[in-house]
Amino acid sequence: MVADTEYAFCCSGCLNVCQAIHDAGLDDFYARVQQREAELTPPPDMPADMDQYDLHEVQQDMVLQHANGRREALLLVEGIHCAACIWLIEKGLKALPGIEFAEVNLARQRLRVVWKAGQVQLSAIVQRLAALGYAALPYNQEAAEGQQKRQNRSLLFRMGFAAFGAMNIMWISIALYAGAFSSISAEYRNFFHWVSFAIATPVLVYSGGPFLSSAWRGLMRLRLSMDLPIAIGASVTFAYSLWQTINHGEHVYFDTVVTFLFVILLGRYLEALARRNASSASLRLMELQPRMATLLTVDGEQRVAIRKLVAGDRVLVRAGDKLPADGEVMEGESHLDESMLTGESMPVHKKTGDAVAAGTVNLDAPLVVVVRQVGGGTMLARIIHLVEAAQGSKARVQRLADRIVPWFVAATLGLAALTFVYWLRQDVDTALLAAAAVLIITCPCALGLATPMAIAVSSGVGARAGVLVRNGEALERLSEIDHVVFDKTGTLTEGRMRVIECASVFGDMGSDEVLQLAAAIERHFPHPLSRAITDEAERRKLEFLPATALQSVPGMGVRGDVQGKSLCLGNARLLVENGISLTADQLRVRQRIEADMGICVWLAVDGQLSGFIHLQDKLRDGAAEVVAILHREGIGVSLLTGDSEQAAACVQQKLGDMQVVAGVLPEEKAQAVMQLREQGKKVLMVGDGVNDAPALAVADVSIAMGSGADVSLESADVVLMSSDIDKVLYALMLGRQTLKTVRQNLGLSLAYNLLLVPLAMAALVTPVFAAIAMPVSSLLVIGNAVLIRRRCRYVAPVSCSAGQKRSQHKKDA
């Protein structure tokens, strides 16, 4: 190969250099590199067996099934590298019947698509992408890693080949430059020009091939891609140099073509590495999933791949191992590290009957776990999907940028043409180089990366802190919030109710009997009050009676039949609705309980009041400080609760000044939020995601609080994986910092163009300098986005301005 050839470079022996290059067999070297490239990076052709993607068995691991026949999938798409690619793919797919949503993640080169299964198949979507010039396949971790390696390898081969050409052609340029001062003969000068042509041609075809093919595909579909200016600049400069060579002209620019192709490829390689590092949150989450599990069978232990696990299997998780699937502890007791899922550094105690999540680490002792969810159904998989969706989503400002990109490319071509015409009056060489510099330097890559990189980094930072943001638009709206509405139970309070007292109204029932009847119904419902009553019944080891005709009455309580008796269990409004009134003594009991933030749950049997249960909750740690910080930041605070006015007033007294609306049903909570919005407020609703769905849906931004394993990821714009109230402040800070970074990035990209485009039009910038400046602008934008990690460290608690800190860092974001 070429490495076997000895070179003796010297300025006085340029003819020997050229002969050495010729003897090295440049065409043979190029052919071998192409062959090697073909072996390692096959061209993005359509898979021959695309019909398999339509099989239900295949889609189980790669497609999410939604209601009404809707399907959702993540696709790996090769060849995405600019905002114009995003625009082309999204426009092209949305033209297909049955496509409801298509959004490209530039940072991860992935496409999230939602379609109606009855109108279009997944294979047709992949075929459509192939027709647009992009190879796609359903996402999985192995395929993603393989694609990344292939793309990096391809870039390295093309960049290395361009570097080889640049090093050699520079010696020719030195000889020509030296000859210009020593009156080199026309014969030798023309010979050097032909040697430069021999070096530049394979570099343009091979290293510049992706730019040329992308530009050609775009033109065939009447689309202006960002590769078009680069392709025109390289091709026109090459063609002019060839024309000069054929006509024995004095000046050629083959070295310029080769050098700026090398610089652009180097910039894209560095840019790809920076994007991968900036949006690595989902990769870290994927690494939590172990590859193997210890399955317990009748024959003993067996090591199997986690793909072979099914619901009902028993697995052994030793100390130090990661849990392979979601499940329930069957035997053993230990502590689990759930920090990567919830953002909490404190280990969580787990015992028999407790739920556990895939990816968490067993710290102390062996556990036997019964598998409940595997694969895409696990909490970890849903979190990864949420992070991926958020990183690929678009804020409103990004949609505006995407609409600008095609016009930006058209403006670039217009400015280059204007520059060429203006300088043509002086000479062709100046006009050509100035126009080429304009074409290269105005590439809007930095503009296309400004918003998606900020959203990708922010989503990853939030995920590591246990704050899951569903989309970029939610991050943008968080920065505008000026009023926060809190639900009480499970939000401002811990939601971990404790039964303090069970009593019969008339003394005809024992405490255990009242609790047993209540638990028979409540154990079927997920509300915190229901869990507290059920837990107390289990603690007292009471038998659970069968219940039928179960019914939930939102904001009031529950109904059901137990042993032939009709039971009502809830607040005073439920009693009134069933024609039951409270006596003066019973009202005094309720007032006594609610005066200390307690809740009184009444039990009626066959239309007669029979007993009550006193449940007690307490405010979350730091709740008062969170309210105080919101007030200092100029943000209004409201409390919505279905409890009585007396209970709400007790909360208000402990938390400080806030608007209180008590005794409201879920629908009335939504009306209260809408009233605030009609007043011009930007409202954030914070609830537990259980009975606050109407209010969460109508707020500008909604946050659902949970505890990792039981939280509904679909209930709000932002999901807190733990129940720390201070993470509401962190989410607000993250939104503000994201929007600030987006504006900074847009400012950087616009400043870059406003500064350098006039210089290029004035012929003060060479194409090579333009090739250096173009990737540098993109790297500046990426680097500024990465700084979000440093600017948004999770602190307990965090102020919205990120400037007030009460304690040491709990977890580095």
Do residues 230 and 262 lie in contact, with contact meaning Cβ atoms separated by under 8 Å?
A: no
Q: What is the bridge-based pairing of β-strands 598-605 and 608-616?
A: antiparallel
Do residues 605 and 565 lie in contact, with contact meaning Cβ atoms separated by under 8 Å?
A: yes
Tokens of 392: 């690929």
Question: What's the residue count for the chain?
Answer: 813
The Cβ of residue 201 has, within 10 Å, a number of other Cβ atoms equal to: 19
Cα 784 to the chain's mean position, in Å?
A: 18
737 Cβ contact list (under 8 Å, min separation 6): 458, 788, 791, 792, 802
C-alpha span between 321 and 367 (Å, rounded): 10
C-alpha span between 593 and 597 (Å, rounded): 7
Do residues 770 and 760 lie in contact, with contact meaning Cβ atoms separated by under 8 Å?
A: yes
The type of residue at 661 is: V
Name the strands in the sheet holding 367-373, side by side, starting at the edge strand that comes first in the sequence.
Answer: 300-305, 292-297, 314-317, 367-373, 326-331, 355-356
Tokens of 33: 């590199």
Q: Omega before 797 cis (within 30°)?
A: yes
CA distances from 286 to 73, 139, 316, 324, 544 (A): 17, 13, 21, 12, 41
Q: Counting Cβ atoms within 10 Å, is residue 553 exposed (0-12), middle (13-18) or buried (19+)?
A: middle
Buried b (16+ CB within 10 A) or exposed e, 11-23: eeebeebbebbee
Alpha helices (H) in 540-641, listed in sequence order: 572-577, 584-594, 623-632
Q: What is the bridge-based pairing of β-strands 99-105 and 483-487?
A: unpaired
Q: What is the bridge-based pairing of β-strands 300-305 and 701-705?
A: unpaired
- From the list 615, 642, 598, 646, the residue with the least C-alpha distance to 503 is 615
Angle between the N-to-C axes of helices 767-786 and 254-278, in degrees from 0 to 180, rounded to the nearest 10: 0
How does DSSP classify residue 45? P
Task: Identify whether 487 is a catalytic site residue.
Answer: yes
The three-class DSSP label of residue 501 is strand
Catalytic residue among 487, 617, 643, 724: 487
CA distances from 97 to 116, 222, 774 (A): 9, 21, 38
C-alpha span between 739 and 481 (Å, rounded): 13
Buried b (16+ CB within 10 A) or exposed e, 433-463: bbbbbbbbbbbbbbbbbbbbbbbbbbbbbbb
Strand partners, 103: 112
Cα dihedral 534, 536, 541, 547, rounded to 10, equals -30
Tokens of 27: 């065409």
- Long-range CB contacts (within 8 A, 24+) of 141-146: 141/286, 143/76, 144/76
C-alpha span between 78 and 300 (Å, rounded): 45
Catalytic residues: 487
